[in-house]
Amino acid sequence: MTGFPEGLQTFLADTEFADADCVPLPGDASFRRYFRLRRRCGESAMLMHAPPPHEDPRPFLAVARWLEDTGLRAPHILAENASAGWVLLEDFGDHRLREWVDAHSHDEGRLYKTAVDTLVRLHGVPPGPFAAYDLAEYQREAGLFTEWYCPRAGLTVDERGWRDAWDVVLAPVLSRQQPGVVVLKDYHAENIMLPPDGTQGLIDFQDAVVGHPAYDLVSLLQDARRDVSPALEQAMLARYIAATDSGQEFEADYACLGAQRNAKIVGIFTRLAQRDGKARYLELIPRVWGLLERDLTHPALRPVAAWFADNIPPNVRSAAKGQLG
């Protein structure tokens, strides 16, 4: 197949999709590539190529099997050659939650309720055998903001003060994180599929860790790629709290992890543009910045809010909303 990755036909040779039509799908922010395979009988499957050394499909495979064993809707693994980066998956179809609710606004509330209820189910089972989302990882991620965004914006900032502020903010969050739940880390509208069977399918969960239950909720409701109204966010937050009987501190932890995640995303989007030549991600920064500013108003984030006041000029924060030229 001209233009396709080397080894594709060899991998498919021992599967039912050896003679299937193969159509490349649009890429994402990683080195992974996806293809839709369709047999003459109409049966379809997804082919993921996660080539080493840039990618490793083994974490994806481990999480997918754990989710399926837990009764959650991850794509079934049809075949795999992890060392070569090939995975053949169940095809969830073309409908993502993001595009569906943008086109069918009357369905937004119902579908977000289902997405929240999926998290309630996920958080109701003992966590899987995944790495802990610890202070070092939270700090590494938050550090992407000062490592990538600040230099690109021409800002010289107090990096030690940034780390110190997050140490203070994250300490109570970590104390309430135990024993932890499985955190998918990219649980948002573009990673929730709507298969033909009426369920919601999960994808892009290979970075799963054991962490705080608020993280995936804030990932869903403070979405970097689509606007979720404050009213819907508050209604879904209340739904989760009621279903899990979470304590009063949950909303504080939600704001803290929202700020940490949004600061990380601003850094990642800057890196994608500067290092990887994906300038389109800069267009998403103002939305994420607005969410970050809203999180910073919570009293639990006073140390980080003070750092912003001392290090980020008002014109960057208000009018520009972090926009980079």
pLDDT digits (tens, 9 = 90+) for 37-76: 999 998 999 999 998 888 899 999 999 999 999 999 999 9
pLDDT of 135 above 90: yes
Query: pLDDT at position 296, please?
Result: 98
Tokens of 48: 């993921």
Name the pLDDT band for 140 (thresholds 50, 70, 90). Answer: very high
What tokens does 204 get?
A: 């892009």
Tokens, residue 166: 């997050």
Beta strands in 2-76 (DSSP E): 21-24, 33-38, 44-49
- Rounded to 10 degrees, what is the CA torsion of 215, 221, 225, 226? 180
In the chain, ranges of CATH 3.90.1200.10 domains: 97-317
Give which of 220, 232, 216 is closest to 190, Cα–Cα: 220
User: 97-317: CATH homologous superfamily?
Assistant: Aminoglycoside phosphotransferase (APH), C-terminal lobe (3.90.1200.10)
> Given 3.40.190.10, 3.40.50.10800, 3.20.20.70, 3.30.200.20, which CATH number is that of 8-90?
3.30.200.20
Per-residue confidence band for 192, with pLDDT thresholds at 50, 70 and 90: very high
Specify whether the backbone of 93 is left (phi greater than 0), alpha (psi in -120 to 50) or beta. left
**Res. 255: pLDDT tops 60:** yes
Task: Over range 81-102, report the average pLDDT.
Answer: 95
Distance CA 108, CA 192 (A): 13
Is residue 323 scored above 90 in pLDDT? no
Amino acid at 191: N
* Residue 316 main-chain phi, psi, to 5 deg: -70, -35
Question: Mean pLDDT of all residues in the chain?
Answer: 94
Q: Give the C-alpha distances (Å, rounded to integers) separating 241 from 235, 237, 248.
A: 10, 6, 9
CA angle 237, 64, 199 (to 5 degrees): 55
DSSP-based three-state secondary structure for 195: coil
Query: What is the helix (H) or strand (E) element at residue 90, kind and residue range?
Result: strand 86-90
Q: Look at the alpha carbons of 285, 286, 287, 292 in this order and tell me if their dihedral is positive or negative.
A: positive
Which residues make up the CATH 3.30.200.20 domain(s) of the chain? Answer: 8-90
221 in Cβ contact with 228 (< 8 Å) = yes
Q: What is the pLDDT of residue 2?
A: 54
State the DSSP H helix or E strand holding residue 193, giving kind and residue range, or none if neither.
strand 192-193
- Looking at this protein, which amino acid is placed at residue 109? G
pLDDT at 32: 84
